[in-house]
Every structure is written in C-alpha cells, then in structure tokens.
Chains A and B, each alone.
Chain A
C-alpha cells in the first residue's frame, strides 16, 4: 500500500509548541480532496514528477516520545518535493533502527531500494540525540549516516536537514527543506511580514502595520530582509535584521523608494527611486551610503535582479512602449540588452541560482503567468496556468518557484517545479497571503 491510499488525517502534522501563531501543515496527496484544514498554512500537492524515486522511511526508534516525529517530517518533505515515491513500511515487526536489524532479503522482496532508519534518544537538559542512516538495500551498505545532538525544539529543523541530505544524495541537487521563506499576509486592516520554515511551520511576523508591505528580499546570508513599507504614507525601503529585530531605513528619498535586490556579496543593493523624475535604478550600500545612479531616462526602469555572479542586472523597463525585461552591467556601463520579445507585458525578472535562466511574469491573452527563459537559447516556457500570478521567487536550489496567485479573489501562494510538472498550493487559514521570497541555503549564513 502506498501513502497515497491512506486517509488524509494521517498526514495532519503536529502544531508547533512555540510562537503564538498556531499552524498546521496538511499535506494532501490529491488535487481534488475537499477537506477542512485545522489551522494556518496548508500545502496541497498537485501532480508529481514523472520518475519518482522510491524510498522507505522507517519510523525512528523512540521518536514517538516527542511531538516532532522525525520520520513523518522527513517523509512529508520528500513527498512535497514531488520527486519521491514513499513506500509503505508494511506489517513486519519489529522495524529496524540499526543496520544490524535489517532483514535485507525481506526488504528486497518488498521491492525496497533505499531505506532510512534512525533513533531518537532523550538526553539531559532538554536535549535529544538523533542518529540516522540511509541504506542501500541491494548493496546491503550504508549510503549516509549522521548523528545530531540538539535541543528538543530543534528536532523539526534537524528532520529538515536530514531530508536535505537524502534529497541531495538521491537527486544530485541541494535540498531546500531546512530553508526559510517570508511572505506578507493581509488581514483586516493589518499587514504582516511573516517568516516561516519552508514547509510553512514556525511562522511568526517580524513587522505588522495597517499600511502595506511589499517586495521583501532576503540578504544572501539570510540574516536580513529588505522590504518596502508604506507605514510613512509613501514607499520607503527598510533593511530588517532578523538576528536582533532592529531595522534601518535604507532609502527614503523624495517620491517612491522600492524594489530592493541584494548584490550576491550582501554589501549593496539595487533599488528604484523616483527622486529624479520617473523610476530609475540606483545602487546603494547596505548601510544606506554611497548612492549611485544606474539608469537615467524618462521611461520606467524597475524590478532589478542581480545575477548570482554580481556582474549583471535584469530589470523591467517600458522604454520600448510596453514593459519588457532587459539586462545591463551592474556597473551601469555598456549597452542595455532587451531579453524578452514575446507578448506585450513581461515583468518581475528573477535570475535562477545558476544564472543560466530567469523567471518572470508573462501576460498571455489576459492571463498573468510565471514563465521561465533560458538566457543562452532565449527559449521561453510558461510554467503556470493561473490567471493572476505575481512575484515569483526561486528556491535556492533552482528546482522550485514560489509565487503569489489567487483563488476566488483570495491571495494564496503556489509553487511550481522549474520543469512545470509539480505544483503546490499554499493557503493561509484566513485573509490574503502574497509577496513570497525564498531564503538562501543555510550554509550561506556567515557570522558577522
């Protein structure tokens, strides 16, 4: 029996014990299940990869003593990626938790190729020790094996890290389960900038105001978020430090201040100001110093996106009459090159993490969809089928794209794999959810 035949209740994960915001993530395995969600964000998976990798995740010995059950979190992560087929653990008992326990002949007869086993042991002072191994059943050998000693609340993030290791070993790409996302919620006269784990758990707001918040962008090291707030009755760019909760005004010039994009070294940002007339691109130090103008013309230039190597910037401009995507050198020198020619409305470019392609919003017969274009070949592919998609953001491994969409007039988040095959829908318990930004890989973090 595969997981997809199990009742949905089975996948109702536990509510986090910390932070006031009550959240539960429900992983649905079918697009057409009509279910009422318990609370918070709900993630629904629509479709899946063509060749899913079979894997068996065995409940970790001792995990049921904790609210955060390792095997369930790991399974839900892998399942959500759409790239794995999670096999049933069958009826054989006891289940293995150490390599010596594994009856290879039995599991091989069950068709098992890869198996994840492990243990969780409670330690003193609120700590726990997690040991996990990924086993190749055919070769009867260990592929991966790590142990972690963490505080009990860190068990959830530890499970995400384990899922990342499994994902990377089996797909060749880094996993993004242990990353963070941020997004804006709009309730009744209240906007909140929320930060959450990539699976929607542990969400908490870092800013709440009755005026709108847009365009959040993570610093490359994941310690700061730049965003545009209207709290002073006009758009101003702030940089918010997540470590100590302080923030500084990055740009508050006459007119609009908006569209921050971090340079890959985190030392400066490209922003958009209208202080000299229409929207133009500028560079500014991360501390607000050293403002340099990059473009100067009477058309709209906005939505800069730094290339991963920091050498070029993609941006939106209506210099040719309709908004299209252009590329320029990050030092403002040289020729500006037009990148998009299909259609009369192409906006919000975002470089892929490898710098070889970019995603953007493309209007096609009145529909606004996420599209991707390879820079070298100029091949464009429309990835979504919604009507009002906005604000696409790449997962830091480049495999998924998170974006804002809407269902029946309500703002939701959705995700699509970069090949367009796997789709997810993420809805908040109430109100609108919008303006997503996917944070960097954890190892990008630097001590300051």
Chain B
C-alpha cells in the first residue's frame, strides 16, 4: 500500500510538472512573438536606413560620373552581357551547355549488353541530345570511343568496340549530323572503366564514350 501511495504521488507530481511545462511554453511562445514583431520593426527600420544610404551613395556616384563625363566629354561604352558576338563567347556558352548538370548532354556514355552493339532505348535521349548539339555547332567534332569487357578475344573485342562506336555514329548521322563531325575509334578491352571480374564491372566496360576533344576540363 505504501508503495502504491508513493507511486500515486510520483505520478501526480509528474502531471503537475507537465502542466507547468505546458504553461511556460505558452508564455514563452508569446514572448517570442513579441520579440519577432520587435525584430521585424527593427529590420524594416534598418532596411530603410540602408536603402537611404544606398540611394545617397548612388546619387553621389551618379553626380561624380556626370561631373567626370562633363569633364571628359566622352561617350560611355557599356557592354551588354549575353549577346556577345565572336567565336570565343559562343564557344564558352556551348561548353557550359554541355556540362549542364541533369542535361542528357552531360552524359557521355552509351552502355551495351554482352556481345551486342545496338543502342538500348534508355540511351537514345543521350544520342539525340548530342546529335542536336552537333547540328547546332557544325564546327565541333567528336570522337566516339568503343569499349568492351575483357572476356574472350582481344581482337574480336576490338572489332566489337568499333561496331559500338559505329552504332553511335550511324544513329547520329541518321539524325542529321554531318559525317565529318564524327570520328570513331575502338579501344576494345584495353581501356576498362572498371577492373573487377564481375558482371557490374563488365557492364561498365561495355560502352561507347562520346568525347569532345577540345572541351575544357
């Protein structure tokens, strides 16, 4: 019985604490709200002050510029960003476009089934994206490098790698890319991306890589 009483008193105490906690939390929350309000007002005031200062600074700068212009009596030439002419500016944009994360252009490898060289459905968007890109930039050239896993014959794999590279080129030419923009080469089983002797590694090695030789790293 003594034990039960003790247990009861403990649970009551706990309940009291809980309600006390709830209460203080409410108070705390109100306080926070007030503080937030105060903070917000402070921020608004601060921002207004900054804007005022900036406007003053701008006015001063404009005034200075006007004075300087009047002094020099020279035209101000201002470059317009993003509409540059000339190869380098355009190329720079092209390289950026190629590296756009999430874009199919950022993907450069087409993977194949064992002893196959037909392009699987899931890699068609990559081939299409690069084809469109090459048609938009007719001065660019690519190399398609065919690769194989290292089982079987090195020479047969070299031939198979060539077929894989050719399959990508063929698809691109059908889509309208100029033949002379695409060079194909086979590395056979000689340049594995993965070195293991297991299906995961072999699958990584059965691929054609689209390489832009002049692309900045």
Contact = CB atoms under 8 A, between A and B. Distances in A.
A316 B153 contact: yes
Given A214-B155, A256-B162, A279-B158, 18 more contacts: A215-B154, A215-B155, A234-B185, A255-B162, A255-B185, A256-B185, A258-B158, A274-B162, A274-B166, A278-B166, A279-B162, A300-B163, A302-B156, A316-B155, A323-B115, A363-B152, A388-B150, A409-B197
Interface of A: 212, 214-215, 228, 230, 233-235, 255-256, 258-259, 272, 274, 277-279, 300, 302-303, 316, 322-323, 345, 347-348, 361, 363, 368, 388, 390-391, 406, 409, 435
Contact of B156 (A274, A303, A435): A303
Contact of A235 (B158, B166, B184): B158
B168 interface: no
B197 A347 contact: no
Given A230-B190, A255-B162, A274-B162, A322 B155 contact: no
Given A302-B155, A316-B155, A345-B152, A255 B184 contact: yes
Nearest to B186: A256
Contact of B152 (A235, A255, A368, A409): A368
Q: From B115, B153, B163, B195, name the one whose CB has the most chain A CB atoms within 10 angstroms.
A: B153
A300 B159 contact: yes
Contact of A390 (B152, B159, B185, B197): B152
Given A230-B187, A256-B186, A279-B162, A368 B151 contact: yes
Interface in B120-169: 150-156, 158-160, 162-163, 166
Contacts of A256: 158-159, 162, 185-186
Contacts of A228: 158
Contacts of A277: 166
A235 B156 contact: no
Nearest to B198: A409
26 contacts: A212-B187, A214-B158, A214-B188, A214-B190, A230-B187, A235-B158, A235-B186, A235-B188, A255-B162, A255-B185, A256-B162, A258-B158, A259-B158, A272-B155, A272-B159, A278-B159, A302-B158, A316-B155, A323-B115, A345-B115, A347-B156, A348-B155, A361-B152, A361-B153, A391-B154, A435-B154
Nearest to A233: B185
B185 A348 contact: no
A322 B188 CA distance: 17
A256 B166 CA distance: 12
Contact of A279 (B150, B152, B159, B187): B159
Interface residues of B, number: 24
Contacts of B153: 303, 316, 323, 347-348, 361, 390-391
A278 B155 contact: no
A409 B197 CA distance: 7
Binding site of A, secondary structure by majority: helix, strand, loop or mixed? strand
A347 B159 CA distance: 12
A363 B114 CA distance: 13
Contacts of B159: 256, 258, 272, 274, 278-279, 300, 302
A10 to B, nearest CB: 36
A409 to B, nearest CB: 5
Contacts of A214: 154-155, 158, 188, 190
Interface in B47-106: none
A302 B160 CA distance: 10
Contacts of A233: 185
B159 to A, nearest CB: 4
A307 B159 CA distance: 22
A325 to B, nearest CB: 11
Contacts of B196: 409
B170 to A, nearest CB: 10
A406 B152 CA distance: 12
Nearest to A304: B155
A214 to B, nearest CB: 5
A388 B150 CA distance: 9
Contacts of B197: 388, 406, 409
A435 B150 CA distance: 13
Nearest to A278: B163
Contacts of A234: 185
B149 to A, nearest CB: 10
Contacts of B162: 255-256, 274, 278-279
A345 B156 CA distance: 11
Contacts of A345: 115, 152
Those 7 A-B pairs whose CB atoms lie nearest each other, nearest first: A347-B153, A279-B159, A212-B190, A300-B159, A302-B159, A348-B153, A259-B155
Nearest to B191: A212
A255 B159 CA distance: 10
A258 B163 contact: no
B151 A323 contact: no
Q: From A235, A303, A322, name the one whose CB has the most chain B CB atoms within 10 angstroms.
A: A235
Contacts of A258: 155, 158-159
A323 B155 contact: no
A186 to B, nearest CB: 10
A388 B158 contact: no
Interface string B194-217: 011100000000000000000000
Interface in B175-194: 184-188, 190-191
